[in-house]
Structure formats: structure tokens, C-alpha cells
Structure 1
Amino acid sequence: MDIRAPMPDPSPREGVTEAPTSAAWRVDKRFTVAKWAGAAIFALAAAIGFRDPGQLIVVGIAAVLLIVLGVRDLLAPVRLAAGPEGVTVATGFRGRRTIPWNQVEHIKVDARRGMLLRSQVLELDTGDQLYFFSVNELGAPCEEVVDTLVRIRSRSGP
């Protein structure tokens, strides 16, 4: 026999959240830090020196590549944003493109499972262009991002 006081029935609004009107997803800071740490390690290895010029070139290229990727993360951290007018995607090194909702044909998650790894990529299809975003670029699971995008889009009208 339960002697606790009965809990009132939840109102219809409890637990129901309004669809957001806008959202933005940015690069996971842990990966930005990892890129800079990797660049520092490779630069230090290049500075310490290798006797083989081939090794020095490979280590130097790795350091420069990680620096470039780290700079992009700092200059354009937001990779995807959405609002009532549409979605804004990062393009190139620092560019942005706003795509109206009526030009977005499909938003889906492409999930792949390998022997040890599982990868997810958010795919945004405008008909003439495909945009791909990884979990690392979005800083959130792709399914959550798609759910939020669909809710924002549904709230923005036809």
C-alpha cells in the first residue's frame, strides 16, 4: 500500500519545450586545443631537428597544417547556425553563406560503423550543393542538431 500523497497530474505544458527560434553550433574546443598542441609538438620536433631532410619536411608540413586548422577554428568557430530566415554555413577558410529554408531540400545524418569506430556526419542538401558537418565541427551529436534544425525550420513557416 502506498501512503505517499498523490502527485498532481502534470499540466500539458510541463516537459514540453518550445521550439527554438535560432541556434548555432561551433567547433568543439577540445579539438581546437588538440590541434594547437599537436602543432606545438610537431614544431618542437622540427626545431630539435632530424638528420633526414625528408622527416623534417613531413614534420614541418604537419605542424603548418595543424596551425592552419587551429587558426580557422579561432577565426570561424561557428560552423552552422540556424534562424527563422534559414541556415548559415561556414564556407572556405572564413566565409559564410546563408541559405533560405526554401532552398534546403534535405537534412540528414549519415552514420557509418567500422570495426572499431562509429562516425556521424550531418548532411545538408540544397540541391546544387552538399554541406557536411562532423560531430567535431558541430560540438554536438548530429541527431540533436538535426532535431533542432527541423524544429527551427517548422517554426519559421512554410
Structure 2
Amino acid sequence: MRSGAFSEHEQPAPAAPSDGRWRVSPGFMALKCAMTVVLAIAAVFFAEDTAALSAAIVATAVAGGYALRDVLAPVRLAADAHGLTVVAGYAGHRRVEWSQVERVRVESRSRGGLRGELLEIDTGDTLHLLSTYDLNARPADVAEELDRIRTIGGSG
């Protein structure tokens, strides 16, 4: 970065908040809920066919389980100057102080022509993995913001 006055075309970056919260996309959450409803309706239409009914009920339960988790624990990651709060288990949360965080990194993989990223938060005894869908943001952007927040807290 350069110091000094901004040219007429440059604007200073807005100050980012000192706390960060990343949650599941409301649109993605609504899609999961809608899919659960569609599968439940499909189960009604397959009532005569036992095998299809069983498959539709299982699919409804799985989709409903994912949708319910989004409703119960929409915030997957929160950070402040003292540490992180990460989703743990089905819908619980775990507080992790910055001193417990050994590493934050982004894991990128390509499979079948698709690229996926995961945010990895390593506490030594636990590895928390969060996807773009969990964060509603690019994991690389979240990692940068976590580094910034950790630095503000003086634990960098």
C-alpha cells in the first residue's frame, strides 16, 4: 500500500468491523427447506409404491435434517479480538481462544473440473472445516478477515 493522499479515482477502503460473523446463506437455507417440502409431497404421491415411498421418506428426513441445522445454527463462525466461536456437532457451538488456534488456512481442491475451498481452523486437538456454503463467503476472504481480527486482538 502506498501512503499519502488519495487520487480523485481512489477511495479509501471502508473500515471493516472488529467482529466478524459468517452464516449460512438465507437463500440456500430456504432452498433446503423448499426441497424438504417437495420431497414430503413426493412421498404422498408414492404412497402406493412401498420402495419409492421409503426412498422419499428417507430423502425427506435427510433434507429436513440439513434444513433444521441451518435454522438452529445459522451462524457457523464468529470472531472477535479474543477468539472464535465455531459450530460444533449438529447445532452446538464451541468457543476457541486465539491462543488455542494453531493454524488457519484454506484448502483448495479440484475434482471433476470443479474447484472447492474449505476454511480449516486447527486447534491442535480439533480441526474445524467450513465451506463456502457454511460461510456465505469465499474461505480465502474469511481467512484474511480472521487474520486481521486476530491481529487487532494482539494475538497474532
Structure-2-length-normalised TM-score: 0.88
Aligned alpha-carbon RMSD (Å): 1.9
Partner-residue secondary structure (3-state), 1:97: strand
The Cα of 1:71 is off from its aligned counterpart by: 1.4
* Percent of residue pairs identical: 37
Q: Which of 74, 79, 83 is residue 76 of structure 2 equivalent to?
A: 79
Q: Is 1:88 the equivalent of 2:85?
A: yes
Taking the TM superposition and a 5 Å limit, the aligned residue runs for 1:9-48 are 9-10=5-6, 15-16=12-13, 18=15, 20-48=17-45
The letter for the 1-side match of 2:139 is: C
Deviation readout 1:27-55 (Å, 9 max, x if unpaired): 01121111111111111110112543222
The Cα of 1:75 is off from its aligned counterpart by: 1.4
Question: 2:89, 2:5 → 1: CA distance?
Answer: 52
Partner-residue secondary structure (3-state), 2:71: helix
The Cα of 1:10 is off from its aligned counterpart by: 1.7
**How many correspondences in the alignment?**
149
Q: Which of 108, 113, 135 is residue 111 of structure 1 equivalent to?
A: 108
Q: Which of 113, 117, 120 is residue 117 of structure 2 equivalent to?
A: 120
Taking the TM superposition and a 5 Å limit, the aligned residue runs for 1:50-69 are 50-69=47-66
Q: Is 1:137 the equivalent of 2:134?
A: yes
The equivalent residue for 1:156 is 153
Deviation readout 1:84-122 (Å, 9 max, x if unpaired): 110000112221111000100010111111233111110
Question: 2:122, 2:57 → 1: CA distance?
Answer: 37
Distance change in 2, residues 1:16/1:40 (3 Å): closer
Q: Which residues of structure 1 form unaligned runs of 5+?
A: 1-7
Which segments of structure 1 move beyond 3 Å, counting only runs of 4 or more? 16-20
Contact 2:46-2:52 at 8 Å conserved across structures: no
Q: Which residues of structure 2 form unaligned runs of 5+?
A: none
Partner-residue secondary structure (3-state), 1:15: coil
Distance change in 2, residues 1:102/1:19 (3 Å): farther
Question: 1:152, 1:86 → 2: CA distance?
Answer: 9
Structure-1-length-normalised TM-score: 0.87
